[in-house]
Chains A and B, each alone.
Chain A
């Protein structure tokens, strides 16, 4: 049974574009066309406004929480071409860094797995992707991938951290050699996979082609210990694809069509144990999908916006025979 357990009144004066829970589900960050980023404490069904962050000069499109081991850090990106990183110091939230390296709206920000350090990927309408790495003492190093996607990049999503090769514990003090990868989706209808080379440069590793219109969102599924990688992508063409790659037998990605919707699909997102995919469509619904035992994807629930009270009965589909 799905129920509304809390309603947070953000008091944003304009359209909300993104809302994200922090790692523990205790805080909520929201951003809006009213140019502000707000942070709420939502423990125990309450809502307390912790911060109202101003600094952007245009609608703010996305927010992203960094891993708690780095402290309380939030990144936001906006139409004003800026990416701002906010940090909580001594109980107050302040701007800790501003990145202005893009020529056009920055559409998406995504933090890398904490094992890699504090690294933020940003995708912009100028077609470039920039990677900000925290190097210490308030300094951020920038690497830019120009022309990652022609016309523009709409989404970035990191692959989960997997230690390659042997699984023996590395001697203390030595960092394991992670292969850092992320996926991006763009207006060239493509999904691209990027890999960091040994010299620190980012190279395009793969192109995934299946969509016939702008790719609006990509989401790399969390790892559940199986030797397969999974990416979900959605597009202006109304299709949602699930891409899978068998890590042991090489680098080929095969797409499976989840569903063809009647309208643009804007957003896809995996639950933390990667067993449910949520898809937001232009038809005012959020649908939840699960993979059944024989590899087919099944819609298990519809979350619909509408008037009236919350309906109480829900069908939970489980793995079918």
Chain B
């Protein structure tokens, strides 16, 4: 047995803790049942056991109202991505993939925002806490995704890399802007309690223009430090940065930066800022002094902020491959041996090490459902990143995660429809997984059944169509909705069942003298050929129609062919024969001599082999009525024969 990286976690089921009892279980379509039992049947238990059955499930996030929007919208992005795959070529490919990534992230942020509102508005503090923790999980997901976008999809080179990382950090530290507004809005900004805190944060985030503005306010307010503020402000202004449109090379930038760094160093040596501890500390920060940065732990809030600030002020042209070294050391320095890394920290580290598989693996372990890893992995696969890592495993991982995610969706009464599309884009096991799952969807309404059937038919899943139609048809028969049953069995192309239902129709006709669901039978069309019994039913109705439209010769021929062909059930013969009576009693001769002979043959054939299928008791009366009718028929046939012969004989004459 292979070893796992972590111990499989134990889920405790509340119940009586007995040493002798075990747990019995079974799988439902999307869940598991467990209950207490004793498998050892030899022991007869006189004490009752625990009478509870627990239904347990993974992926209960599908039931969350707010997350549903996440699932719905990301589904749209996912399908869109699969569809444009062929069109993604050349230079624009990367840009388009980045756009897709940003779309996903904006969906996460929207969800976060909504959940945040709900958390604030919640009356029950426990629920509020629950939502808040969900918000932080979503926030972490967006943080990770954003970093993956920068490193794996955008593939930012040295120089641009730092700018992206700065954006990344700024995006995830929210209080700065509100603090800025607070301070600027006050009477005397530079005298505000949080003034220096604000300036420090701005410097830590590399927002030097704004920091400089703050310093000028301080310069205005306290003339004694005006000089120092001006100098520091100048340093801030002159720090060389790579701006997006800039054409200078990395080497040029490095050189300039080196000079600037030395200038800052000189000021520090000269104790320019000695009389203002705040300003001096800011200068140290700008020099990338680790100790000074670490003093601001509280403002930095986390090690990756520390990392980016550190890089900004000591290695702004850091290359992607060197990132992980700084990342590891930043983490170690920041934690300072006081605490150990959390799952999020490990995931980010793995990302800095460009170990995509590790990122996905850790995320799978840490998160409660497959949404995140499934979509991220799919996107990375489109970036052709998984294949280059481990050919054998690459495409399988994407499919594995998508299958897990989609299976989870099927547990939900309406989200399952999204799952269908995900299965469609899994070339190896998608189809068979869909087949297994789609049959298990409860067909609670006709609408739902039709929806499921449409999906199956579109994908030529004939087995599933047959099975589902059969279930619906049987249900209809049990509820005496014969028309519905018939149309389901036609759709299922189930001849045996069509025969069964047709028999029921005919039996009903025998009992009541009329057909239900005439519309359906009249419009069978080629479906009539599905089974002999069904054909008979359709043709018999046609006979009725002919008679109604006074197309008597057509009716007569049809009736005769129904009797002489083998498709009429024995039990129906008497009715067919009796149906001939009104035709025989018409003023004009409808049956030809030939046809009359045929009819007589049928009559005698029938009379000699009368089926006994009625219940005793009623039998006597029924038989008497029948006998009378058959006598009348014999008489009518004889008369008709005479008339027919005369008519045909004299045809040439007249």
Chain A interfacial positions (CB closer than 8 Å to B): 1-21, 23-26, 28, 30, 33-34, 42, 59, 61, 67-71, 79, 105, 114, 169, 172-173, 216, 222-225, 258-259, 264, 266-267, 269-273, 278, 280-282, 284-288, 292-294, 296-311, 313-321
Contact A302 B11 (CB under 8 A): yes
- By beta carbon, the residue of chain A nearest B63 is A5
- 23 A-B pairs whose Cβ atoms sit less than 8 Å apart in the complex: A1-B59, A6-B54, A8-B54, A13-B51, A16-B49, A20-B26, A23-B29, A34-B48, A69-B470, A71-B475, A105-B41, A267-B39, A285-B23, A292-B2, A296-B2, A299-B4, A301-B11, A303-B11, A304-B10, A305-B13, A305-B34, A314-B11, A320-B2
**Secondary structure type dominating chain B contacts:** mixed
State the CA gap A302–B4 with chains docked (Å): 13
Which B residues are CB-close (under 8 A) to A26? 442
Closest residue of A by beta carbon distance from B57: A5
In the bound complex, what is the Cα–Cα distance between A247 and B531 (angstroms)?
36
Out of B8, B53, B59, name the residue touching A302 (CB < 8 Å): B8
Q: How far is the CA of A8 from the CA of B361 in the complex (A)?
A: 35
Whether B631 sits at the interface, judged by CB under 8 Å, is: no
Count how many chain B residues have C-beta atoms less than 8 Å from C-beta atoms of the other chain. Answer: 86
Asked if B34 and A16 make an inter-chain contact with CB atoms under 8 angstroms apart, the answer reads no
B36-A14 in contact (CB<8A): no
Residues of A near B495 (CB, < 8 A) are 172-173
Cβ-defined partner of A28 (8 Å) among B33, B390, B462: B33
Known A-B contacts A314-B9, A316-B365; the reply to A21 vs B31 at CB < 8 A is yes
A60 CB, nearest partner CB in chain B, Å: 11
- C-beta contact mask, B459-486 vs A, less than 8 Å → 1, else 0? 0001000010011001100100000000
Residues of A within 8 A of B33 (CB): 19-21, 28
- Pair B8/A301 contact, Cβ less than 8 Å: yes
Q: Which residues of the other chain, A, contact B439 by a CB distance below 8 angstroms?
A: 23
CA distance A11 to B21 in the complex (A): 18
In the A-B complex, the 5 residue pairs with the closest CB atoms: A21-B28, A173-B495, A266-B39, A24-B442, A1-B368
> Contacts A68-B471, A114-B467, A259-B1 hold; do A311 and B25 have CB atoms under 8 A apart?
no
**Cβ–Cβ contact A3 & B56, under 8 A:** yes
Q: Do residues A224 and B432 form an inter-chain contact, with CB atoms below 8 A?
A: yes
Picked from A24, A225, A259, A315, the residue with its CB within 8 Å of the CB of B4 is A315
- Residues 388-406 of B, flagged 1 when their CB comes within 8 A of A and 0 if not, give 0010010011001100000
Report if B320 contacts A (CB, 8 A): no
- Residues B26 and A224 in contact, CB atoms below 8 Å apart: no
Query: What B residues does A105 contact at CB under 8 A?
Result: 41
Distance of A270 Cα from B48 Cα, bound (Å): 29
Known: A71-B474, A303-B32. A286 touches B23 (CB 8 A): yes
Total CB contacts across the A-B interface at under 8 A: 280
Cβ contact within 8 Å between A2 and B11: yes
B41 to chain A: which residues have CB within 8 Å?
59, 61, 79, 105
Verify B55–A7 contact, CB threshold 8 A: yes
B493 within 8 A of A: yes
- Contact A319 B29, CB 8 Å, known A1-B369, A304-B10: no
Among A30, A68, A314, A319, residue most surrounded by chain B Cβ atoms (within 10 Å):
A68
B613 interfacial contact with A, CB 8 Å: no
Residues in chain A near residue B13, CB distance under 8 A: 4, 303-306, 310
Contacts of B35 in A (CB 8 A): 10, 16, 19, 30
Pick the residue among A4, A13, A222 that contacts B56 (CB under 8 A): A4
Q: Please determine whether A318 and B364 come into contact, CB atoms closer than 8 angstroms.
A: yes
Q: Nearest residue in A to B370 (C-beta to C-beta)?
A: A316
B59 to chain A: closest CB distance in Å? 8
- Of A14, A271, A311, the residue contacting B45 (CB under 8 A) is A14
On whether the beta carbons of A25 and B432 are closer than 8 Å, the reply is no
With a cutoff of 8 Å between Cβ atoms, the chain B residues found around residue A11 in the complex are 51
* CB neighbours of A284 from chain B (8 A): 21-23
Apart from A18-B37, A272-B27: 7 A-B pairs, beta carbons within 8 A: A12-B48, A16-B24, A17-B24, A266-B24, A287-B8, A318-B364, A318-B400
Whose C-beta in chain B lies nearest to the C-beta of A297? B1
In the complex, what distance in Å separates the CA atom of A222 from the CA atom of B26? 15
Of the listed residues B9, B29, B45, B57, the one surrounded by the most CB atoms of chain A closer than 10 A to its CB is B9
Bound complex: CA A305 to CA B493 (Å) = 49
Whether a CB of chain A sits under 8 angstroms from the CB of B15 is: yes
Q: How far is the CB of B487 from chain A (nearest CB, A)?
A: 16
Flag if B56 contacts A298 (CB, 8 Å). Answer: no
B429 within 8 A of A: yes
Interface check B530, CB cutoff 8 A: yes
Give every chain B residue within 8 A of A7 (Cβ-Cβ). 52-55
In the bound complex, how far is the Cα of B377 from the Cα of A44, in angstroms? 33
**Which chain B residue lies CB-closest to A13?**
B48
Q: Which of A15, A294, A303 contacts B37 (CB 8 A)?
A: A15
- Chain B residue with Cβ nearest A14: B48
Q: Cβ of B12 < 8 Å from any Cβ of A?
A: yes
Residues in B neighbouring A287, C-beta threshold 8 A:
8
Shortest CB distance B284–A (Å)? 42
Q: Given A24-B29, A272-B29, A273-B436, A16–B9 Cβ distance below 8 Å?
A: no
A303 and B12 CA atoms in complex are apart in Å by 6
Interface membership of B14, Cβ < 8 A: yes
- Chain A residues positioned under 8 Å from B384 (CB to CB): none
B17 interfacial by beta-carbon distance below 8 Å: yes
CA–CA, A26 and B49, complex, Å: 25
Instruction: Report the Cα distance A70→B397, complex, angstroms.
Output: 39
**B40 to A: closest C-beta gap in Å:** 8
In the assembled complex, B344 has its CB within 8 A of some CB on chain A: no
